[in-house]
Amino acid sequence: MKDTKHKLSSLTIALHWIIGITIIVMLALGKYMESFEAYALYDIHKSIGMIIIAFVLARVFWRILNGWPEPASNYSSIERLTAKVVHWTLIIGTVALPVSGVLMSGSGGHGLAIFGWELLAENIDPNNLEEVIPLNKTLAGLGHEIHGIAGNVMIIAIVLHLLGALKHHIIDKDGTLRRMLGKSL
SS3 128: strand
- pTM, 2 dp: 0.92
pLDDT tens string 134-161: 999 999 999 999 999 999 999 999 999 9
Distance CA 143, CA 132 (A): 17
DSSP conformation class of 169:
I
120 beta partners: 112
Every domain of the chain and the residues it spans: 10-180
Phi, psi torsion values for 183, nearest 5 degrees:
-90, 160
- How is domain 10-180 classified at the CATH fold level? Fumarate Reductase Cytochrome B subunit (1.20.950)
Provide the strand spans (E) within the chain.
112-114, 117-120, 124-125, 128-132
pLDDT tens string 101-129: 999 999 999 999 999 999 999 999 999 99
The H or E element containing residue 152 is helix 137-166
